[in-house]
């Protein structure tokens, strides 16, 4: 159960899609419950290449959202209907999604007899709901306490999460994984512009990146994504006289993004705070053999790669340090290619979808063994 599902863009949605498709390809039966794009609920089949059967996608009514929280007013009813029709052994809830946590608690209160085993993937603590997180944290905490197990994507997140404090014995680490991209001619050449991929919001640090690019005269930058800060970032780029070196690409198809990523000098992830807990796009870069420049955050962001071996790591918000990292790779394509090659090896060893799904399946089996 997640906030949204593909083609809705976002890190949680990408993870949920990879889990769903990987489990289906492995022969498991899967149903997904997520918010729809309008006020009418719907149900459809999920067809995945290589899977012996289809999955089910239930989209609940969602007339809007509030601080990235889908307002799924009929979620309890949808949860009851989904579990009645599908009869799951495990319900896997993806947090943060406080209304879904509340819906699960309400659902439990309505049931009689055995209930599905609750597993939770804790992607991050609530960050942006300043008032809401104070009011909703007890609900989320109650849901976490009733979970048979909780998984996170990195050891760093497990150690720093306030919401998981006191629940350490239930927490397991399962790193994210993605399928390798389709081969692209010219991959790993590191002769293209630098690249940013993500939502244009404050915590992504794109303003810091633009200021750093302004200090490296030969550097060019492609920005892929949209968001509420796009207008102000375009204004900043013009003010820094970067119009000829920075291109706002908007939202691209997977294929178009892969083409940019495969030839980029490096992917840059200049995030500023703990709202960024992993940076899934790093895996796309590593799988493509592309170098990464990343902020040294206390979450799992810097844990994905290896500083100096697969990535250059800089302090968050430090324009000078980021400009220095850009300059190093701008002047040394050989270093960029070496970082990209080492990153690809690390991706193949630790971050494939097959590895993530296998770890997840073993974890599910362990949880079911505890409850039988």
pLDDT at 242 (0 to 100): 96
Distances (CA, A) of 49 to 24, 30, 52, 55: 9, 15, 9, 12
Extract the tokens encoding 7: 């083609």
11-178+353-371 CATH, one of 3.40.50.2000, 1.10.10.10, 3.50.50.60, 3.20.20.140? 3.40.50.2000
pTM: 0.88
Rounded to an integer, what distance in angstroms lies between the CA atom of residue 287 and that of residue 285? 5
| Residue 188 pLDDT | 67
Least confident window among 126-140, 182-196, 200-214, 338-352: 126-140
Rounded to an integer, the average pLDDT of 341-368 is 95
Give 269-317 pLDDT, tens digit per residue. Answer: 999 988 888 999 999 999 999 999 999 998 888 889 999 999 999 999 9
Q: For the chain, give every residue range classified as CATH 3.40.50.2000.
A: 11-178+353-371, 194-350
Assigned token pair, 119? 């597993």
Domain 194-350 class, CATH top level: alpha beta
Q: What pLDDT, on the 0 to 100 scale, is given for residue 253? A: 87
- Between 74 and 28, whose confidence is greater? 28
pLDDT reading at 131 higher than 60: no
Tens of pLDDT, residue by residue over 257-271, are: 889 998 999 999 999
Query: How far apart, in Å, are the Cα atoms of 245 and each of 194, 195, 212, 214, 223?
Result: 10, 12, 12, 9, 11
Whether 205 and 225 have beta carbons less than 8 Å apart is answered as no
Q: Does 125 have pLDDT greater than 80?
A: yes
Q: Is the pLDDT of residue 354 over 60?
A: yes
pLDDT tens-digit map of 8-17: 878 889 999 9
């Amino acid at each position: 159960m997640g906030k949204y599902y593909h083609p809705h863009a976002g890190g949680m949605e990408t993870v949920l899609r990879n889990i769903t498709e990987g489990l289906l390809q492995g022969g498991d039966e899967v149903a997904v419950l997520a918010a729809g794009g309008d006020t009418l609920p719907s149900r459809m089949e999920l067809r995945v290449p290589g899977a012996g059967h289809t999955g089910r996608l239930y989209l609940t009514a969602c007339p809007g959202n509030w601080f990235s929280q889908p307002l799924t007013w009929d979620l309890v009813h949808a949860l009851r209907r989904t579990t009645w029709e599908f009869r799951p052994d495990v319900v896997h809830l993806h947090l943060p999604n406080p209304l879904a946590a509340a819906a699960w608690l309400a659902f439990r209160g309505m049931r009689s007899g055995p209930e599905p085993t609750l597993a939770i993937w804790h992607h991050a603590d609530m960050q942006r709901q300043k008032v809401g997180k104070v009011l909703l944290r007890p609900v989320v905490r109650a849901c976490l306490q009733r979970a048979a197990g909780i998984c996170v994507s990195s050891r760093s997140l497990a150690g720093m999460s306030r919401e998981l404090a006191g629940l350490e014995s239930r927490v397991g680490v399962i790193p994210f994984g993605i399928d390798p991209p389709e081969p692209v001619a010219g991959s790993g050449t590191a002769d293209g512009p630098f690249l940013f991929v993500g939502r244009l919001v404050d915590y992504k640090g794109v303003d810091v990146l633009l200021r750093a690019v302004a200090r490296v005269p030969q550097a060019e930058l492609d920005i892929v994504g949209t968001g509420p800060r796009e207008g102000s970032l375009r204004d900043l780029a013009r003010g820094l006289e970067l119009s000829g070196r920075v291109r706002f690409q908007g939202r691209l198809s997977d294929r178009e993004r892969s083409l940019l990523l495969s030839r980029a000098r490096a992917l840059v992830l200049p995030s500023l705070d703990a709202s960024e807990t992993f940076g899934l796009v790093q895996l796309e870069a590593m799988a493509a053999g592309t170098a990464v420049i990343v902020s040294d955050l206390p979450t799992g962001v810097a844990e994905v790669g290896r500083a100096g071996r697969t990535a250059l790591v800089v302090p968050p918000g430090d324009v000078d340090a980021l400009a220095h990292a850009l300059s190093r790779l701008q002047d040394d394509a050989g270093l960029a290619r070496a970082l990209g090659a080492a990153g690809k090896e690390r991706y193949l060893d630790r971050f494939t979808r097959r590895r993530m799904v296998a770890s997840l399946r073993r974890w599910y089996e362990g949880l079911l063994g505890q409850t039988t």
